Chains A and B, each alone.
Chain A
Amino acid sequence: MDTQAILQVENLQKHFPIKGGLFSPKGSKTVKAVDGVSFSLARGQTLGLVGESGCGKSTTGRMVARLMDPTGGRILIDGVDISQLGGRDLYNFRRKVQMIFQDPFASLNPRQTVGTAIAAPMLAQKINPAGGLKSRVKELLEQVGLKPEHYNRFPHEFSGGQRQRVGIARAISLNPSVIVCDEPVSALDVSVQAQVVNLLQEIQRDTGVAYIFIAHDLSVVRHISHEVAVMYLGKIVEQGPREDLFRDPRHPYTQALLSAVPLPDPRAARQQQKIRLRGDLPSPANPPSGCVFRTRCPLFGTLGVEQQQRCISDIPLPASAAAPACHHAGLDSAALAGVQ
């Protein structure tokens, strides 16, 4: 498999200004929705992006698809920075990165037949496929497991799973190199979810497309991803190959996240060691100093005063394949408690 990086993201940032009230100065504060995110994605591979709502995973995906403009940082597709593209260049870039959305009913125009919806990207990009547009659309319908005669049907005539197939057909119509899938199976029932996950994997095998797979369901992410990045409050706290990350999570947040997943196995669920995070995600408008996770960190309470001080004052290095973004990751919390 070609492991050359198709997508490289470097220090990506998205800051939203908080609009001040009538009497407060404007632009004085920002919400750092995404704050220094870096990762790379190889051809034909899938990067799973996980985290709680509000952690910035969707914002990251939308910036890669240029549905949002980054505040800072670079997005390299095939070595070309696309983060600042505009006009003609942006238009040409669109065919390289496509998107699949969570709610297939909201992302399809109810007055448009699915045939028209699937043809829209090709029309917009003025692509004339060999054999004509209509036959290409029918080919795409078959590729995603629908029937060519569905061409003239409307979205409401389809079930949720079938609608998501239409969304997938539309996304692959331009043969993109990267597809950003934002919670593509979250709205589907498990039995249908499995059908769509299988379809996404088949398409990847056949076309070599790379996916950014954004989801909060860790079991699905584990199933489909090659690499996984865990986000917390706009930052990646840990990333690495799927097997390593799930077998041996090193950041306390990843550990807590994994242990919170309910297991469909009652005996294992009773025995499972559970790490419970207290409270909610802090407001991204007013993040904690130093390590953003320290306010909920299960490790923090077991640390000595000096070590805690480090969490409060120093921002951990960004997560890399070698180390998670934590000052004290790898320290055995039980051993630490013994030291105290």
Chain B
Amino acid sequence: MTQLQPSPAGQPATRTAQPATRTGAFLDVRNLSVKFPTDDGLVSAVNGMDFSLERGQTLGIVGESGSGKSVTSQALMGLLKGTSARVTGQALFQGKDLVTLPESGMRQLRGRNIGMIFQDPLSALHPFYTVGHQIAEAYLVHNKASKKQARTAAVDMLGRVGIPSPEQRYDEYPHHFSGGMRQRAMIAMALICEPELLIADEPTTALDVTVQAQILDLMSELQEETNSALILITHDLGVVAEICDSVLVMYGGQCVESGPVDEIFYDTQHPYTLGLLKSMPTLSSSSGRLNPIPGQPPSLLDLPKGCIFSARCEYAALAGDGVCASQRPELVVEDGHGKRCHLRGPQIVTIRNTR
């Protein structure tokens, strides 16, 4: 097991997130794994995720396609129950284990305590029912209320998410709504029962930047209002920097780095996170070549024996003895900043400075 040197870089300005208070966390995920048996073999989509989250906090889960970020959220929502997926580990939410909880118990939590926003609102909304009806339905399932009360609540919610003339919009169908409005309707539906935990899976990926900015603002506002916990799944580091308190970087179904947002961006510890940051063009960078991460993500059917990132890691040689190729590093957490890498602190600093 690799021990991390104390970080020589300056202490971060803010330290809003304190993950890993092991007992009594609002959401505590331990060693969560998801495997899918397929004709080609066992696909290891998520391999031992550990994280925790408190109320009022926003956790960003970042990674490329196939890194297991969406599967993690589906496992938390119990959406993999009744499928061929093999979910193991623990996900304690208010003392209940979401992994072993039966479907009936999950139904109690879903919508009421845990809400979810999906990427594509057009496929998440039913085209045959009015938008208002679908939002009111979510309310009726969990509250002993009349249809009239549900309607009032839904209209109120539509107004809160910034839909103009909600009373009329209630009776319109999803196809009447623009992309941004549909996403607002989705948010209204997820929030109608004021869940304590909200999982948003790429909520703004299909939207234009101007609308994305509106939706991100809205989500932060509503979160502040209700003091809920938010898990934001995205591939966009810009979005993460904008609204998250802490970040978890995923690669090949594992968490490779986690910590408060400022530390991830300014005291990056993992070569993959560094690679992601370096490969992004920014609005201020002058042109020249971009620095892509060479190669392709590993096949989840046949994960490498050593570090999952080693095949694409430019710095694997630095660790010496071929340890990166032969031995899988553990996630070492120090001062709330975790990394899964054989390289030691000073080596990382050298790498960081060469960018």
B190 → chain A, closest Cβ, in Å? 20
A76 contacts chain B at the CB level, 8 A cutoff: no
A262 contacts chain B at the CB level, 8 A cutoff: yes
Q: Which of A251-293 contact B (CB under 8 A)?
A: 256-267, 269, 274, 276-281
From A19-27, A63-71, A107-115, A187-195, give the one contacting chain B.
A187-195
B289 contacts chain A at the CB level, 8 A cutoff: yes
User: What residue in chain A is nearest B245 (Cβ atoms)?
Assistant: A266
- Cβ contact within 8 Å between A224 and B287: yes
- Cβ contact within 8 Å between B64 and A191: yes
B165 contacts chain A at the CB level, 8 A cutoff: no
- Cβ contact within 8 Å between A264 and B64: no
User: What residue in chain B is nearest A280 (Cβ atoms)?
Assistant: B178
A125 contacts chain B at the CB level, 8 A cutoff: no
- Cβ contact within 8 Å between B211 and A280: yes
B330 contacts chain A at the CB level, 8 A cutoff: no
- Cβ contact within 8 Å between B210 and A262: no
- Cβ contact within 8 Å between A191 and B180: no
Interface size on A, residues (CB 8 A): 43
A201 contacts chain B at the CB level, 8 A cutoff: yes
A251 → chain B, closest Cβ, in Å? 14
Among A190, A197, A220, the one with the most B-chain Cβ atoms within 10 Å of its Cβ is A190
Choice from B65, B282, B291 contacting A264 with Cβ under 8 Å = B282
Choice from A194, A220, A266, A276 contacting B217 with Cβ under 8 Å = A276
A246 contacts chain B at the CB level, 8 A cutoff: yes
Instruction: Specify which chain A residues have a CB less than 8 angstroms from the CB of B213 in the assembled complex.
Output: 259-260, 262, 274, 276
A136 contacts chain B at the CB level, 8 A cutoff: no
Instruction: Specify which chain B residues have a CB less than 8 angstroms from the CB of A264 in the assembled complex.
Output: 237-238, 240-241, 265, 277, 280, 282
Q: Kindly state the separation between the CA atoms of A75 and B149 in the bound complex, as whole angstroms.
A: 59
- Cβ contact within 8 Å between A52 and B208: yes
Q: Kindly state the separation between the CA atoms of A142 and B177 in the bound complex, as whole angstroms.
A: 46
A140 → chain B, closest Cβ, in Å? 21
B56 contacts chain A at the CB level, 8 A cutoff: no
Q: A191-B64, A280-B180 are in contact. Are A266 and B261 (CB under 8 A)?
A: yes
Q: Kindly state the separation between the CA atoms of A199 and B181 in the bound complex, as whole angstroms.
A: 37
- Cβ contact within 8 Å between A256 and B210: yes
Q: A261-B283, A266-B262, A267-B13 are in contact. Are A53 and B242 (CB under 8 A)?
A: no
A218 contacts chain B at the CB level, 8 A cutoff: yes
Q: A260-B210, A263-B238, A274-B213 are in contact. Are A192 and B292 (CB under 8 A)?
A: yes
Number of A-B contacts (CB under 8 A): 124
Q: Kindly state the separation between the CA atoms of A266 and B13 in the bound complex, as whole angstroms.
A: 11
A121 → chain B, closest Cβ, in Å? 27
Q: Give the interface SS of chain B, mostly helix, strand, loop or mixed.
A: helix
Instruction: Specify which chain A residues have a CB less than 8 angstroms from the CB of B285 in the assembled complex.
Output: 223
B293 contacts chain A at the CB level, 8 A cutoff: yes
B327 → chain A, closest Cβ, in Å? 24
Q: Kindly state the separation between the CA atoms of A269 and B216 in the bound complex, as whole angstroms.
A: 13
Q: Kindly state the separation between the CA atoms of A263 and B179 in the bound complex, as whole angstroms.
A: 23
Q: Which of B257-278 contact A (CB under 8 A)?
A: 261-262, 265-266, 275-277
Choice from B212, B281, B296 contacting A197 with Cβ under 8 Å = B281
- Cβ contact within 8 Å between B209 and A257: yes
B279 contacts chain A at the CB level, 8 A cutoff: yes
- Cβ contact within 8 Å between B283 and A190: no
Instruction: Specify which chain B residues have a CB less than 8 angstroms from the CB of A134 in the assembled complex.
Output: none
A313 contacts chain B at the CB level, 8 A cutoff: no
Instruction: Specify which chain B residues have a CB less than 8 angstroms from the CB of A195 in the assembled complex.
Output: 292
Q: A192-B292, A219-B282 are in contact. Are A262 and B212 (CB under 8 A)?
A: yes
A222 contacts chain B at the CB level, 8 A cutoff: yes
Q: Kindly state the separation between the CA atoms of A122 and B154 in the bound complex, as whole angstroms.
A: 58
Choice from B178, B216, B240 contacting A281 with Cβ under 8 Å = B178
Instruction: Specify which chain A residues have a CB less than 8 angstroms from the CB of B289 in the assembled complex.
Output: 198, 201
Instruction: Specify which chain A residues have a CB less than 8 angstroms from the CB of B296 in the assembled complex.
Output: 159, 161, 192
- Cβ contact within 8 Å between A194 and B282: no
- Cβ contact within 8 Å between A198 and B290: yes
- Cβ contact within 8 Å between A218 and B241: no
Instruction: Specify which chain A residues have a CB less than 8 angstroms from the CB of B283 in the assembled complex.
Output: 218-219, 222, 246, 258, 261, 263
A228 → chain B, closest Cβ, in Å? 12
- Cβ contact within 8 Å between B65 and A265: no
Q: A261-B238, A269-B241, A276-B213 are in contact. Are A191 and B276 (CB under 8 A)?
A: yes
Q: Which of A171-227 contact B (CB under 8 A)?
A: 189-195, 197-198, 201, 216, 218-220, 222-224
Residues of A within 8 A of B (CB): 52-53, 159-161, 189-195, 197-198, 201, 216, 218-220, 222-224, 246, 256-267, 269, 274, 276-281
Q: Please, could you name 24 A-B residue pairs with CB atoms under 8 Å apart, sorted by A?
A: A52-B208, A52-B210, A189-B65, A191-B279, A193-B279, A194-B280, A201-B289, A219-B280, A219-B282, A220-B281, A222-B287, A223-B285, A258-B283, A260-B209, A260-B212, A260-B213, A263-B238, A264-B282, A266-B241, A266-B261, A274-B213, A276-B214, A276-B217, A280-B180
**A-B pairs with lowest CB-CB distance, top 6:** A262-B238, A194-B292, A223-B281, A194-B290, A191-B293, A189-B64
Can you add 14 more A-B contacts, CB < 8 Å, to A191-B293, A264-B277, A280-B211?
A52-B209, A190-B280, A193-B292, A194-B280, A219-B282, A223-B281, A246-B283, A260-B209, A262-B209, A263-B283, A264-B240, A267-B266, A269-B241, A281-B178
